[in-house]
Structure formats: structure tokens, C-alpha cells
């Protein structure tokens, strides 16, 4: 996988979530929340979903583990999706596999906010910016 989030500042101990034994999850993967307190990696079309957090460590597929520590608060380098300009201070949400975009506030979109942009990203290309994640 690519574009995993990179931890820059740790604000809170990670929380355990249940994950599939068969799943392979890279460190820094943005995870979506599935009831009850289960997490899995985001998929390409995933938008408007609840975020469980960011994987603290790698989870190897079929290694027998079904729990994974997940960061829910902190400062992370995250990648903006191409075509979505982000301005410093904007609220951001998930936009597919390990990407973020601006969460619109005009009520036209079902966006679940995961944090606030600490830097600006141009809409012309994928760009890494720091995000204050707070779930």
C-alpha cells in the first residue's frame, strides 16, 4: 500500500480495535470503523465513512492476531487526494485509500471529519500535509 500516514506528534495512547486475522495492514494505514469496534483498511471509493484511526504498527496477514493498536489523536503527515485543494485550518475527511480531502461544510456532502489541516495543499497534485487528527 502507499501514502500511509506518518506520526509526527503523539497526543494519546492508541486504542485496541478488532481486525480480521486474514487482513494485512501497513503501519500508518487509515482505518474505517465497522460495528462493533472493528476496523479495516479504507478502500478506493470510501468517502463519508467513520474513521477508526491510524494503525500504530504493521499487521501481517494470517498471523493469528485479531487486535490492532490504533491512534485516534495526534499530528500526522497525510496525503491529499489530487483535485482537492486544502487550506490551512480546513476540516478534512477520508477520501479513499490513505487519502484526505476537505470536508465540505455546506451540507451537500456526508463527510465525517477526522481532523484539521495544519498546512495548505494545492489541488493540482497529491501533496503531504500535516493534519491534527482528533477522533
* 67 and 17, same domain (yes or no): yes
Q: Quick check: is 127 in a domain?
A: yes
The span from the CA of 53 to the CA of 51, in Å, is 5
* Per-residue pLDDT, 32: 93
Cβ(25)–Cβ(13) below 8 Å? no
Q: Quick check: is 88 in a domain?
A: yes
Domain boundary among 40, 72, 104: 72
Domain boundary among 46, 72, 98: 72
Residue 93: domain span: 74-134
* 102 and 67, same domain (yes or no): no
DSSP-based three-state secondary structure for 7? strand
The span from the CA of 57 to the CA of 69, in Å, is 7
* CB-based burial label for 107 (10 Å; 0-12, 13-18, 19+): exposed
* 54 and 18, same domain (yes or no): yes
- pTM exceeding 0.85: yes
* Per-residue pLDDT, 110: 63
Domain boundary among 72, 96, 126: 72
Q: What is the pLDDT along the chain (135 residues), one digit of tens a residue?
A: 689 999 999 888 999 999 999 999 999 999 999 988 999 998 887 777 889 999 999 999 999 999 999 999 999 999 999 888 999 999 999 888 999 999 876 666 667 889 999 999 988 889 999 999 998
Which of the 8 DSSP states describes residue 62? T
* 37 and 59, same domain (yes or no): yes
Overall domain count for the chain: 2
Amino acid at each position: 500500500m502507499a501514502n500511509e500516514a506518518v506520526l509526527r506528534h503523539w497526543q494519546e495512547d492508541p486504542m485496541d480495535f478488532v481486525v480480521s486475522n486474514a487482513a494485512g495492514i501497513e503501519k500508518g494505514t487509515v482505518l474505517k470503523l465497522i460495528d462493533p469496534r472493528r476496523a479495516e483498511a479504507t478502500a478506493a471509493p470510501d468517502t463519508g465513512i467513520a474513521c477508526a484511526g491510524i494503525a500504530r504498527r504493521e499487521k501481517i496477514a494470517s498471523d493469528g492476531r485479531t487486535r490492532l493498536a490504533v491512534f485516534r489523536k495526534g499530528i500526522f503527515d497525510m496525503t491529499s487526494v489530487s483535485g482537492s485543494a486544502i487550506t490551512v485550518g480546513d476540516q478534512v475527511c477520508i477520501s479513499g485509500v490513505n487519502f484526505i480531502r476537505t470536508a465540505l461544510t455546506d451540507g451537500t456532502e456526508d463527510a465525517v471529519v477526522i481532523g484539521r489541516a495544519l498546512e495548505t495543499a494545492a489541488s493540482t497534485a497529491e501533496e503531504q500535509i500535516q493534519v491534527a487528527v482528533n477522533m
